[in-house]
Each structure stands twice: as C-alpha cells, then as structure tokens.
C-alpha cells in the first residue's frame, strides 16, 4: 500500500512517520509513505505563495487550488497510479475503526492537509473523493488528522505489526458546518466563484453563507441538527 500526504508541513509528518512501528514498517518496505510540500508546487516562483484572502471577506487566509492541484498531478506522475483522495477536515465523516479497515483495502491513498481557514472549495470538488475528520473539534491544520488516519490504516496492513502486536482481538459542536470558501483565481479549471461573493453585498453574502451552512450540515452531518 502507498500513502501520500500533501501538506505545508512535511517535516512534521516525517518526524512522526519515521518513528516507532510505522517507521520500522517503512524501512522494511511493508508500506510506502511519501510526504510532499505543497509550497514546492506554488506557481509563484518568487515568494512561493500558497494562500490568499477569502472572496466575500472574512478572517484568515485560504489555500489556493493551483499548488495543491500541481502537487496532486505530480503524485500521479511519480506513482503511475490514481490515488483515492481524502481531504482532512472537521466537516468530514468521523474516522472509525470500520473506516480504517475499509481504507486498508485501497492500494493508494492521498491525504490532503488544509491550513489557515481551509482550502479553496474548488480543489475539493476537483480532486477529493471524500472528507474525513478525526473528531468534532478543530485542529490548526490537517496534519495531525492525516497522521491519525495514516497510523490507523498502516497498522492494519500485512507485516506492519509483529505477531505480538496483532490487532485481530483488540477492542476498539453544536451548531453548523462552515460555508464553502473561495479565493483567487476567480475562475479556475472552468469553475467560477459563486457570484454573490463578488457582489460586495454583505447582507446577501451573510445570508448565502448561512444557507450554505444549513444545507451542508443537513447534507453532511444531519446528526448535528437532531
Ligand atoms: N483539520 C482541522 N481540524 C480537523 C479535524 N478535527 N479532523 C480532520 N482534519 C482537521
């Protein structure tokens, strides 16, 4: 099995994944794990910029789609395989052991880590097959979650745990999800930013976001509305 991790902090991931059981399994060739720095794929050759302010206003910065997309394409080129792409986000389904067991069956996973206020919604639409959360709380970025997913899945792969570490018999916010975020460019890969966010009409933007929050919560986490 191969797991790629796309992140702004590859050294953080490498540090964890070089240690202990997973580090040993990697060295032994039982599992292939590759960490990639999204900043290396910035089209901005001078400053290596990867984020910009959100369309429609608001706090924080949003990661732009293009560096992530270039990183994704390079992983396909390197691996000669199309990965199953997982975006780590507090909006995803919560990781369970059952889910880890299902992911173990997929030969190539790509874990995408967001930072700041998240990533431009269009890259999620473009490449993500699913979103996963590690719980109903907010981390500063997707790295810890990607590490949790990687660890939970890798340890289930053949040869990763020793016989004595065998897993076969072990046990086992209130409110709404956030609305989608968009940043420059205004059109990307044929996908446009919702016009209301370019209108400068704060009341309309606010209403639109509220509706999006409601719709997404109903769609993605109906249990939160119960
Ligand atoms: N990014 C920020 N918080 C997260 C969470 N709880 N799970 C996955 N990714 C995240």
How confident is residue 139, by pLDDT bands cut at 50, 70 and 90? very high
Query: Ligand 1 in contact with 135 (CB < 6 A)?
Result: yes
Pocket test for ligand 1, best of 134, 146, 149 (most atoms within 8 A of CB): 134
Residue 163 is predicted with a pLDDT of 76
The answer to whether residues 131 and 86 touch, using CB atoms and an 8 Å cutoff, is yes
Task: For residue 87, report the distance from its CA to the centre of ligand 1, in Å.
Answer: 9
Can you tell me the distance from the alpha carbon of 110 to that of 128, in angstroms, rounded to the nearest whole number?
A: 9
Q: Is the pLDDT of residue 165 over 80?
A: no
Helix axes of 143-154 and 20-27: crossing angle, nearest 10 degrees: 60
How large is the average pLDDT for residues 32-46? 97
The four Cα atoms 65, 70, 76, 82 give a dihedral, to 10 degrees, of 20
Overall pTM surpassing 0.85 (yes/no) = yes
Residue showing tokens 């590490």: 147
């Amino acid at each position: 099995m191969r797991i790629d991790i796309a992140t702004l902090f590859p050294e953080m991931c490498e540090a964890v994944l070089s240690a202990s059981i997973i580090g040993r399994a990697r060295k032994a060739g039982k599992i292939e794990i590759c960490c990639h720095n999204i900043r290396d794929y910035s089209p901005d050759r001078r400053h290596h910029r990867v984020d910009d302010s959100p369309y429609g206003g608001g706090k924080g910065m949003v990661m732009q789609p293009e560096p992530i997309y270039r990183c994704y394409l390079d992983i396909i080129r390197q691996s000669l395989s199309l990965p199953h792409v997982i975006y780590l986000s507090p909006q995803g389904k919560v990781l369970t052991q059952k889910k880890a067991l299902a992911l173990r069956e997929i030969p190539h996973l790509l874990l995408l880590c967001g930072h700041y206020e998240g990533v431009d919604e269009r890259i999620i639409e473009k490449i993500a097959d699913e979103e996963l959360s590690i719980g109903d709380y907010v981390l500063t970025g997707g790295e810890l979650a990607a590490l949790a997913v990687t660890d939970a899945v890798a340890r289930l792969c053949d040869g990763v745990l020793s016989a004595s570490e065998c897993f076969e018999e072990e046990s086992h916010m209130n409110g709404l999800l956030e609305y989608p975020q968009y940043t420059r460019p205004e059109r990307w890969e044929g996908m446009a930013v919702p016009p209301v966010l370019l209108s400068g009409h704060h009341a309309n933007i606010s209403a639109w976001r509220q509706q999006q929050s409601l719709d997404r919560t109903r769609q993605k986490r109906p249990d939160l509305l119960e």
